[in-house]
Amino acid sequence: MRAGLYWLAALIAFAAGVPAAAQFSYDVPYVPTPPVVVEEMLRLANVGPDDFVIDLGSGDGRILIAAVKKFGARGVGVDLDPDRIAESVYAAQLAGVTDRIAFHRQDLFKFDFSRASVVTMYLLPSVNIRLRPRLLKELKPGTRIVSHDFHMEDWQPDQKSTVRKNVFLWIVPAQIDGRWRASVALPAGERSYEIEIKQKFQEIDGVARYDKKVAGLWNAKLQGDRVNFVMVDDSGPVETNLYFDGRVAGDVIEGVVRRGIGSDEKQIKWRATRIAPAS
């Protein structure tokens, strides 16, 4: 017997031995994702060779196998059905990708998916909602989550596509809510700001306080660990837009402020530290 078939036999034996107590308390029916939807999911998630894809509820493995074979990724599939696990392993052998792929029979609520750079799902909305807190807490900011057909309620997708079925993409946002202290070396002198940001998933808004003044944050955007917003600088004789761009790393934001446009543009480094969590 070839080594791959030994592996397949071992996986089937393991799956058959999982006790009934390990089963989910809910049922997710097996409905294969059409190949054109698989392709659109992976395209929308911008899967590439550097990605580690985890497919939650992997079924016959087609999404993960396509990610590995067509996009050069590596990954793991998680499912409870022993027949689907056996089918996935066999399909991976036929596709010649067993060195970059694995399938586990396990409760997806107990599975550690924190190393994923991309998570794919075709689960029921109720399951998506139960998973949502873990996805937000355990995945790194910038991780892409793509779902076939089903949403995450009030967590609005970053992108949506329709190819026969709806495909939703979320990018895990950094936790940026709270009060921050930032300083920027402007031409009129260094200015210190206290920036207050309110956050609902990737949607952010806020204000900056300085010199007993309050300025709004315009066009505020958060995508993964990257934050952008515009403030109006009134330190000179003419008001000027300040374009903030930064990356969030825990309680620190570092980046560049652009002041002026075209040939007059100047770039200034900025850094902010969180001084209080959201109230």
- CATH number of the domain that 223 lies in? 2.40.128.120
171-192 residues labelled b (16+ CB within 10 A) or e (exposed): bbbbbbbbbbebebebeeeebe
Please give the Cα distance from 245 to 14 (Å, whole number).
Answer: 50
Contact 140, 223 (CB under 8 A): no
- pLDDT tens string, the chain, 279 residues long: the values are 333 333 343 343 334 444 433 344 445 678 889 999 999 999 999 999 999 999 999 999 999 999 999 999 999 999 999 999 999 999 999 999 999 999 999 999 999 999 999 999 999 999 999 999 999 999 999 999 999 999 999 999 999 999 999 999 999 999 999 999 999 988 878 889 999 999 999 999 999 999 889 999 999 999 999 999 999 988 777 888 999 999 999 999 999 999 988 888 999 999 999 999 876
pLDDT attached to residue 189: 82
163 in the same domain as 26:
yes
Structural domain range at position 26? 3-171
Rounded to 5°, the CA angle 61-65-67 comes to 125
117 in the same domain as 196:
no
67 in the same domain as 189:
no
| Of 62, 120, 72, nearest in space to 92 by CA | 62
Query: For 22, which DSSP code?
Result: G
pLDDT attached to residue 2: 34
Q: What is the CATH number of the domain that holds 95?
A: 3.40.50.150
pTM, two decimal places: 0.86
247 in the same domain as 210:
yes
Residue 99: CB partners within 8 Å, gap ≥ 6?
none
Radius of gyration of the chain (CA): 23
Q: Would you call 55 helix, strand, or coil by DSSP?
A: strand
pLDDT attached to residue 22: 39
Instruction: Tell me the two tokens of residue 174.
Output: 């950094």
134 in the same domain as 160:
yes
232 in the same domain as 134:
no
216 in the same domain as 271:
yes
